[in-house]
Amino acid sequence: MDNSRREFIKTSAMASVATVAAGGSSAVAEKLKEAPADSSVQWTKSVCRFCGTGCGVMIGHNGNQIVALRGDPGHPTTKGLVCAKSLFLPKIVHSKDRLKVPMLRKDGKFVPISWDDAMELMADKFAKAIKKHGPDSVAYYGSGQAMSEESYLCNRLFKGGIGTNNVEGNPRLCMASAVGGYVSTFGKDEPMGCYDDIWAANTIFLVGSNTAECHPVIFDQILAAKQAKRSLNIMVLDPRKSPVVSAARVHLNPIPGYDLAVLHSMAHCIIRDGRHDEEFIGKNCQFKIVKDGKPINVGLDGYIKFLEDFTPERAEMVSGVPAEKIEEAAKLFTYGPTMSIWTMGLNQRTRGVWANNLMHNLHLITGNIGKPGATPFSMTGQPNACGGVRDTGSLCHILPYGRLVKKEDHRKQMEKLWGSKPGIIKSKPGLHTVAMFRALGEDKIKAMVMLTTNPGQSMPNLHPVRDAIGKPRKDKPFIVVLDSYPTRTTEIADLVLPAAMWSEKTGVFGMSERRYQIHPQVKKAPGMARSDFDIMLEFAGRLEDKGAVKKGYIKGKFKTTDDVWDEMRLASRDTPYDFMGITRERLYKERGLRWPCPTEDHPGTARRFVKGDDPTLDSGKYADHTLAKGDVKFYAAPNQRAVVWLRPALGPAEPTDKEYPFVLSTGRVLEHWHTGTMTMKAEELRRAYPHCFIEMNPKDAREMNVRSGDMIKITSRRGEARIRARVVDMPRPGMVFVPWHWEDKDSLINFVCTDAFDPGSKQPEFKICAVKLEKI
């Protein structure tokens, strides 16, 4: 642990002790004060804090203490299952190193300050920057872990109040390519299927997804479906033999970054063998290729000709996947209904949008879409990246519920609903995440607030990012961080505001299958911590008082997250997201609801674009009464036909060479999550994986004379890390794998990763960069 990190934690702990001594509360003191007379444990329905699966949980609480957590057996999709991480949430919430008082950096050290002083300073810094340098001199960086109401409020404040589109969040790092894929193929974001499809599928295709460790409850359901239906085929496309391979009939292991050729080759085989669905294609598809920057229609014949370059034999030469395996996978894919599931292995790529397009291509040409068990499904890594950021429009180029900043009518719609000054929302997108931190390092951004995320550890190419946030310099930008725990970002911030944790505030999470679920407050936040919502609400009011935001824009309009939720429902009305029927009362009563859900008596939508299921086809702009029940119509796509894209099979941004001969890929392990900020607080989880490791293929290890436990120096063109080897037959030869949860300086693998990004989605290529290895 370096000195700045140690100093921050020490100051935070001392400030917390001072707060209790001065009459503040601690977890123990609150338990003594507030425990009910009979000390009975109450159980409250909620949703898990971790990944995008959205597991239903029951929280056991006694007074102000969470004493237990279990799966909710009444949950319609996760059915009482939870993973190890979820079970330890009570310990995580009650961690001793929670942030409890506002802290300001003075002369290089943190000192506690009052909330009034903290909020006044924050508002003053932002207001002065806006007045002197304009609205684009400030920025907001949010999270797929914030509540939907928090993200919506911040998006509303910055775009419609301050007048800047510099609104970003960490979903840019994990889901932006999935968004780009859905929008460019179908016209609207988000999966059209649901978890029920797992049980109806005859084939499940796992692509770039270590479902067993990253979404274990989903993998458990896949295994249960396999046990119930022995004929279920499971296929895996991944250069690493993650645990999901043990269940697979076919494993395709391409050279990292060269899997687009495999997906094209599968399409080639399907059409060559006449296994495509010509009727479905004729009714629902169009074929396009980009030439000179413009999409050109080529028709099915043009697609077939394009695929001639992707015979299995040629694809094998490019990808390293044996031709016979490609043939087998193509055949199994047509044994539908087929469900494909993917995550970061496709998304965190410089060709991420294209890879997503090619997954959709396979479903479209086979008609494996819009039926039980037939769907292309992108899983989400965070609990609220979908509902909280993608849906609320909290990225630099979008507005709530499918709207775009570049469309004038969309801007006017939101300005009218928000009560903004006409024309305040700019037509030009703001800075995307990588560009935002580069601008911060160039001092073009003068003030920035970060909420519920840890970019000082999670961003790629970390050295310039950490310098941008924390390096002392003249006229350094003012950085405010809201968090519940000390992190590698809070340690280099200027102002740290202690935030309430999950279970200490009430709000909505929206998970991968479009299900919105409420997590209620069951305890008070420790010390002086406040919810991110309350902090940003007060911040908005103070900006109004200083003239940086229109008077009455937010101040006085909202008091609670309930108030914001009602406006969010109005924002969704008459859009394909319409959830006017998902009232607060229904969220408390039911185990979540899947949008669209336009009326209070609507049960929610299992499958979009399907007549008789998707209410969008029954009324409003996209209504079509000529369709029969079960017919598919891609109403948001150009000419209401989904696009089959002819994408070049290009490789990664940084291929290997003589100097950097290995490919590095990063990911997760079962027991930890993201930067370990939460999971490392549970001793049992920490013991399971106390240290970082680098997986090496036995063939590479023999050539380097490396054994498990040896220290390996990993070097790229950007930085280095020093991590102990684990020799195991999981990565393919020439590839190494490192999980990214550990915060010690030697283990921070994101110093090594490239910040090259997809030109469409602007999502960085965490999964592939070139490195050299040295045994030390």
Active site residue 412: no
Contact 712, 700 (CB under 8 A): no
- Sheet strands (E) in 113-195: 138-142, 167-169
The residues facing 123 across adjacent strands are: none
Contact 131, 162 (CB under 8 A): no
Q: How far apart are the C-alpha atoms of 640 and 333, rounded to whole Å? A: 25
Name the nearest CA neighbour of 266 among 340, 331, 206, 339: 331
Choosing from 119, 344, 359, 580, the catalytic residue is 344
Amino acid at 457: Q
Name the nearest CA neighbour of 249 among 262, 235, 238: 235
Q: Cα 40 from chain centroid?
A: 37
Name the nearest CA neighbour of 130 among 492, 548, 499: 548
Active site residue 381: yes
Choosing from 221, 348, 382, 413, the catalytic residue is 382
**DSSP string for residues in 315-375:** HHHHH---HHHHHHHHHHHTSSSEEEEE-HHHHSSTTHHHHHHHHHHHHHHHT-SSBTTBE
Residue labelled with tokens 């970082």: 692
Token pair belonging to 187: 């016209």
Active site residue 413: no
583: alpha, beta or left, given left = phi > 0 and alpha = psi -120 to 50? beta
Active site residue 511: no
Query: Given strand 285-291, what is the order of strands in its sheet?
Result: 294-297, 285-291, 642-645
Q: How far apart are the C-alpha atoms of 753 and 771, rounded to whole Å? A: 9
Name the nearest CA neighbour of 200 among 36, 53, 371, 342: 371
Which H/E stretch holds residue 228? helix 216-228
3-class SS of residue 236: strand
Contact 62, 33 (CB under 8 A): no
DSSP state of 616: G
Choosing from 103, 174, 379, 511, the catalytic residue is 174
Choosing from 48, 58, 83, 175, the catalytic residue is 175
Active site residue 122: no
User: How many beta carbons lie within 10 A of that of residue 297, not counting itself?
Assistant: 12
Name the nearest CA neighbour of 500 among 463, 544, 458, 452: 452
Q: How far apart are the C-alpha atoms of 148 and 165, rounded to whole Å? A: 18
Cα-based angle 561, 566, 572 (whole degrees, multiple of 5): 120
Q: How far apart are the C-alpha atoms of 215 and 232, rounded to whole Å? A: 20
Which H/E stretch holds residue 669? none
User: How many beta carbons lie within 10 A of that of residue 582, not counting itself?
Assistant: 29
**DSSP string for residues in 284-318:** HEEEEEEETTEEEE-HHHHHHHHHGGG-HHHHHHH
Q: How far apart are the C-alpha atoms of 298 and 671, rounded to whole Å? A: 48
Active site residue 58: no
Contact 99, 483 (CB under 8 A): yes
Distances 577 to 189, 402, 406 between C-alpha atoms, Å: 10, 8, 19
Choosing from 31, 45, 85, 505, the catalytic residue is 85
User: How many beta carbons lie within 10 A of that of residue 357, not counting itself?
Assistant: 25
Q: Which sequence positions are flagged as catalytic? A: 85, 174-175, 344, 381-382
